[in-house]
Amino acid sequence: MRHVISILVDNEPGVLARIAGLFTARGFNIESLCVAETEKKSLSRLTLVTSGDDWIIEQIIKRFENMINVIKVDDFKETESLQRELLIARVTPTSKTRSEVLRVADIFRAKVVDVGTKSYALEITGSKDKLEAFVEILRPLGLKEINRTGLISLKREKN
């Protein structure tokens, strides 16, 4: 099963290696990883997406909690949290597809962030599914390369 794990850690060197090391030890793949400072400068939040046996993931989370530099670990279910990702795509359309690319960008509420004589750079945020749909539609229209940040998430307020 797919897990989105959010980890609050001390903003210190070596912490990321410690966390990534636990995944390597278990032979698990990290699908995406995003780390940045939080509202407090001394803390970082790390959002990690992985999939695997629930019981083993639970074991890994317990080991995270045992680490000295880890403050809090959440294993988010999709409904409990906001999940977003940012993607930048470079498209080199032909003269025929040029307007189609801009129309697709408009439908997906993507922004044009760079324009050249041959290409556009588009920026889009959204859920994983939305981004994947966007990429699939751009592909026949001259998609050259993409780069994405990986998922970030925040807990929803409980009612």
Contact segment (CB under 8 A) with other proteins among 18-26, 90-98, 113-121, 134-142 equals: 18-26
Q: How many residues does the chain have?
A: 159
Residue from the set 36, 37, 38, 62 that interacts with other proteins by CB under 8 A: 62
Considering beta carbons, is residue 58 or 145 the nearer one to other proteins?
Answer: 58
Name the one range near other proteins by CB under 8 A: 6-14, 75-83, 123-131, 134-142. 6-14
Of 42 and 79, which CB lies nearer to other proteins in the complex structure?
42
Q: Tally helices (H) and strands (E) across the chain.
A: 4, 9
Structure token pair of residue 51: 């999939």
Contact 101, 93 (CB under 8 A): yes
Pick the closer one to other proteins by CB: 69 or 92: 69
What interhelical angle do 15-25 and 54-66 show, nearest 10? 150
Candidate ranges 69-77, 79-87, 89-97, 141-149; the one touching other proteins (CB under 8 A):
69-77
Figure out which of the listed residues 39, 68, 95, 117 binds other proteins, where binding follows CB under 8 A: 68
Q: Which residues contact 139 (CB under 8 A, 6 or more apart)?
A: none
- What gap in Å lies between CA 23 and CA 30, rounded to an integer? 7
Is 14 among the residues that bind other proteins (CB under 8 A)?
yes
Alpha helices in the chain (DSSP H): 15-25, 54-66, 98-107, 128-138
73 vs 57: CA distance, rounded Å: 12
- Tokens 């083993």 belong to 56
CB of 66 to other proteins, least distance (A): 7
Nearer to other proteins, 69 or 125 (CB): 69
Q: Is 124 in the site for other proteins (CB under 8 A)?
A: no
Reading the block at residue 159, the tokens are 């009612």
Q: Which residues bind other proteins (CB under 8 A)?
A: 9-10, 14, 17-18, 21, 25, 55, 58-59, 62-63, 65-71
